Structure 1
Amino acid sequence: MSAAVPMLRAERVEGQGQVPATVGESPVWRAAEQALYWVDIPARKIVRLRVDTATRSEWVLPEKVACIAFGRDGKVLAGCESGLFAVTLPEADVGVDAPARALVTKLAAPVFSAPDMRFNDGRCDRQGRFWAGTMVQDMAAAVPAGALYRFDERGVLSAPVIEALIVQNGLAWSPDGRTMYLSDSHPSRRLVWTFDYDIDEGRPHNRRVFADLHRYEGRPDGAAIDVDGCYWICANDAGRVLRFTPDGTLDRQIEVPAIKPAMCAFGGRELDTLFVTSIRPGVGATEHDGHLFAVRPGVQGCAEADYAGAL
């Protein structure tokens, strides 16, 4: 990294003694609750932290959950192992010592093109269509069987829109919704692409390389967009979050105490706090790996759209 690029440092949000996530992903800010939600994929958990009171709640699902978005009725739309689910998170009996059971209804499922696949990164476009991609769970196998799907407001799951992905990631849309971003995290790819996006049809086209992380440290993981249209991408394996301007220039970076930052999201009362989830490596983990971090980078983020359909 160039020393000329400004560096900030994220600080850990969770206190001592909090059990770390194995794979912390998909942070989503809920302004009405002043709460951040995220998932721990292998633990099959959705986690909520009410930031003002530091109150934490957890719910367990029947299978691995990788990405979430909220419906307009407060239910959760979740990408899991076998498909997409509508999830209700009951407030009753949400304990401190044990997670409550989420109530789930299967909505749709793709025809997976290889064994042992699941959904990975997902979020809504500005119009409220839910997009999510799939991957083979054994990332080391480097099987390009992943695909990106659209789940529209009618509850219809598309055929694969983009195929031949190894580890789909990095979904985001520009503030006006007319540019879509997508990454592939696999070490052999390490690319972020950008697309022109038809907001009426929900169709990306004119794919081109936006950022090649072979030029930088780390692999591109989950991302967020700020009000200036800049793209914040977690640099997994490098303990960094990188900000690229709309023309692809790296202009800021954030140091994260965890080596594997996984995904970031803007939150806080003014949407001026960047929250970062992380992964705990199987070997050589530190006390910070797998925890949640936050920083105020001096810019506001864009509010995430809710799913526009019924759940």
Structure 2
Amino acid sequence: MSPAVRVERIDAAGRATVGECPVWRAKENALYWVDIPARRIVRLEIDGARRTEWAFAEQVACFAFDAAGRVLAGMETGVFSVTLGDASEGQAERLAAPAFPASGMRFNDGRCDRQGRFWAGTMVQDMSLASDAGALYRFDEKGVLSAPVVEGLLTQNGLAWSPDGRTMYLSDSHPQRRLVWAFDFDPDTGMPHSKRIFADLHHYAGRPDGAAVDADGCYWTCANDAARLLRFTPQGRLDREIPLPASKPSMCAFGGSDLSTLYVTTIRPATNATESDGCVFALNPGVQGLPEPDYAGVLPVA
């Protein structure tokens, strides 16, 4: 039985339709995230609870910062350099685009590996089609988008790396898959290999959505549709389970001054939504996280 953990709803963050990709910016003491169908990136400055948002011409699904504070984002039609200026409208310049094998696709979950290469996966937005056209791509420090590195994904999710960067985690959150895989990862070449099942959520509650790895090397996944967080040890053993007041947690990220606060974004279901669905939550699980790597390349100003 996991010890009781207090979960705080951050009312100043507002509500999202599909809140995703929380990213902590220590330099700003601020949390960023996206609302995918609203086509927005949102920031909450923790001191003063000041909320800012930027709207875009297409959906933003995932993003990372570079060392200069510019943003690299996976959007509907490709990978973009994004400028978050003083105005409420963000600027975006497409840098690369995959050859989408099906219609109605977009990028979904993504982040940088420990070496600063940006990774993001694609999906067919209509999940009822159960299309396996999704794939995982790498956008390297030279600005080159790879061919598909992992293919056959229904709803790509759960991307994360172990503290030493030598294990890559990837999940498929579609109801027909509900799997988390682990790969051996070559930090020099940026290539994953030796794919194996790390956690099969058919044996647990929910679907494995976005994830984070803590300083102990444990993998935290948002159990979508099950209102909880699950933590798996590096050996794939479930050792923590924390209930949440929202049914569809989507992704988590460590933040705060010492990376001991776990922030969780959520999705607001189309029916039977509660006042907490779509909100951002904060909790202290008793472990610390790891700094989110910056993108190692140089981004143009959009």
TM-score, structure 2 length as denominator?
Answer: 0.97
- Determine if contact 2:6/2:284 at 8 Å carries over to the other structure: no
Give yes or no for the alignment of 1:76 onto 2:71. yes
**Corresponding residue number in structure 2 for 1:96:** none
Select the residue among 26, 33, 45 that pairs with 2:28.
Answer: 33
**Corresponding residue number in structure 1 for 2:132:** 144
Select the residue among 96, 114, 117 that pairs with 1:129.
Answer: 117
State the one-letter code of the partner of 1:13.
I
Task: Give secondary structure in 2 for the equivalent of 1:8.
Answer: coil
- Determine if contact 1:195/1:207 at 8 Å carries over to the other structure: yes
**Corresponding residue number in structure 2 for 1:285:** 273
Q: Unpaired segments of 5 or more residues in structure 1? A: 94-99
Give yes or no for the alignment of 1:172 onto 2:142. no
**Corresponding residue number in structure 1 for 2:11:** 14
Distance in 1, matches of 2:290 and 2:284, equals 14
Task: Give secondary structure in 1 for the equivalent of 2:205.
Answer: coil
Give yes or no for the alignment of 1:86 onto 2:74. no
Q: CA deviation at 1:37?
A: 0.3
**Corresponding residue number in structure 2 for 1:269:** 257
**Corresponding residue number in structure 2 for 1:107:** 95
Distance in 1, matches of 2:8 and 2:248, equals 14
- Determine if contact 1:132/1:150 at 8 Å carries over to the other structure: yes
Give yes or no for the alignment of 1:305 onto 2:302. no
Q: CA deviation at 1:53?
A: 1.4
1:243-254 to 2 correspondences below 5 Å? 243-254=231-242
Task: Give secondary structure in 2 for the equivalent of 1:214.
Answer: helix
Distance in 2, matches of 1:9 and 1:193, equals 30
State the one-letter code of the partner of 1:158.
S
Distance in 2, matches of 1:224 and 1:83, equals 24
Q: CA deviation at 1:64?
A: 0.4
Cα shift readout 1:86-123 (whole Å, capped 9, x = no counterpart): 00100x24xxxxxx011111100000010010000000
Distance in 1, matches of 2:230 and 2:3, equals 10
Cα shift readout 1:204-237 (whole Å, capped 9, x = no counterpart): 0000000000011100000001000000000000
**Corresponding residue number in structure 1 for 2:228:** 240
State the one-letter code of the partner of 1:298.
G
Task: Give secondary structure in 1 for the equivalent of 2:188.
Answer: coil
Q: CA deviation at 1:140?
A: 1.3
State the one-letter code of the partner of 2:217.
G
Give yes or no for the alignment of 1:24 onto 2:12. no
Moved over 3 A (4+): none
State the one-letter code of the partner of 1:219.
R
Q: CA deviation at 1:10?
A: 2.0
Distance in 2, matches of 1:147 and 1:192, equals 15
- Determine if contact 2:137/2:147 at 8 Å carries over to the other structure: yes
- Determine if contact 2:266/2:278 at 8 Å carries over to the other structure: yes
Cα shift readout 1:126-185 (whole Å, capped 9, x = no counterpart): 000000000000011100000000000000000000000000000000000000000000
Task: Give secondary structure in 2 for the equivalent of 1:63.
Answer: coil
The percent of aligned pairs where both chains have the same amino acid is 68
Q: CA deviation at 1:52?
A: 1.8
Q: CA deviation at 1:20?
A: 1.4
Distance in 2, matches of 1:11 and 1:46, equals 22
Distance in 1, matches of 2:4 and 2:182, equals 25
Q: CA deviation at 1:8?
A: 2.7
Which range moves more in the overlay, 4-13 or 146-155? 4-13
State the one-letter code of the partner of 2:143.
G
RMSD of equivalent CA atoms: 0.9
Select the residue among 51, 58, 83 that pairs with 2:53.
Answer: 58
Q: CA deviation at 1:9?
A: 4.2
Q: Unpaired segments of 5 or more residues in structure 2? A: none
Task: Give secondary structure in 2 for the equivalent of 1:101.
Answer: coil
State the one-letter code of the partner of 1:11.
E
Distance in 1, matches of 2:16 and 2:6, equals 21
Task: Give secondary structure in 1 for the equivalent of 2:142.
Answer: coil
TM-score, structure 1 length as denominator?
Answer: 0.95
Distance in 2, matches of 1:62 and 1:10, equals 34
